[in-house]
């Protein structure tokens, strides 16, 4: 299987990048091929402009060149895995903008569905699992991404994983990398 690993973090040495690389290493060990999309390093423009806005009349639109390139990148792969830090109880703006622009009407939803049956979203959370559970953030986060994005785009094998406690020190950072590697081994 050819897997597109999309990373949304500004620092190459971030825990998010490390987790994405650990996932890819384990997936490759199982015979998968991996292509990376580093949205920040590639200067992806996350701003949805009028020409890329959904046309609810059902008419196909002519997408901007950078959006078409991203669509082609997705289409040449068999699965998508997104790695991102959880900021403000959500994904970074660059990843939200990538989804807003690329997962477009009549390509990812509407008359067509997202090209991949298998999509995994992996959020690297600073807070602990107990902190998320205490206020129901874990449920709301998963609902937002699983139901609001993956199910809406008819992704058959869509899942959301939260890897908690990135601010809890080196031992927890190592545990997050290990968890990402496990996800790659099971993918």
pLDDT greater than 70 at residue 31? yes
For residue 47, with 0-12 CB atoms within 10 Å meaning exposed, 13-18 middle and 19 or more buried, which class applies? Answer: exposed
The residue among 101 and 51 whose pLDDT is bigger is 101
Per the structure, the complete domain to which residue 141 belongs is given by 2-186
User: What pLDDT shows up at residue 109?
Assistant: 93
Tell me the average pLDDT of the chain.
Answer: 94
Q: What is the mean pLDDT of residues 35-55?
A: 90
The answer on pLDDT for 3 being more than 70 is: yes
Question: By percentage, how much of the chain surpasses pLDDT 90?
Answer: 87
* Class of residue 70 by CB neighbours under 10 A (exposed 0-12, middle 13-18, buried 19+): buried
Quickly state the pLDDT bin for 51 (edges 50, 70, 90): confident
Q: Label the pairing between strands 2-7 and 33-38.
A: parallel
User: pLDDT of 64-120, one tens digit each?
Assistant: 999 999 999 999 999 999 999 999 989 999 999 999 999 998 899 988 999 999 999
Stated pTM of the model? 0.95
Return the pLDDT at 62: 81
pLDDT exceeds cutoff 80 at 53: no
User: How does residue 56 score in pLDDT terms, banded at 50, 70 and 90?
Assistant: low
Domains of the chain: total = 1
pLDDT of residue 149: 97
Q: What is the signed CA dihedral for 151, 154, 159, 165, rounded to 10 degrees?
A: -50
**What CATH number is attached to the domain comprising 104?**
3.40.50.360
pLDDT higher than 80, residue 32: yes
The 10s digit of each residue's pLDDT in 119-147 is 999 999 999 999 999 999 999 999 999 99
* Residue 52 and residue 101 in contact, taking contact as beta carbons nearer than 8 Å: yes
């Amino acid at each position: 299987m050819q897997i597109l690993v999309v990373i949304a973090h500004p620092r190459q040495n971030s825990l998010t990048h490390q987790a994405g690389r650990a996932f890819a290493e384990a997936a490759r060990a199982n015979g998968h091929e991996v292509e990376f999309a580093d949205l920040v390093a590639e200067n992806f423009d996350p701003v949805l402009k009028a020409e890329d806005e959904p046309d609810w009349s059902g008419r196909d639109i002519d997408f901007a060149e950078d959006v078409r390139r991203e669509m082609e990148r997705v289409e040449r792969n068999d699965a998508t895995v997104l790695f991102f830090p959880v900021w403000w109880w959500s994904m970074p703006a660059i990843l939200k903008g990538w989804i807003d622009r690329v997962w477009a009407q009549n390509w990812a939803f509407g008359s067509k569905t997202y090209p991949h049956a298998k999509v995994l979203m992996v959020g690297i959370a600073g807070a602990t699992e107990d902190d998320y559970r205490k206020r129901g953030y874990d449920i709301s986060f998963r609902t937002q991404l699983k139901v609001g994005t993956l199910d809406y785009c008819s992704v058959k094998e869509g899942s959301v994983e939260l890897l908690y406690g990135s601010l809890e020190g080196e031992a927890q950072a190592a545990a997050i990398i290990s968890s990402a590697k496990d996800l790659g081994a099971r993918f």
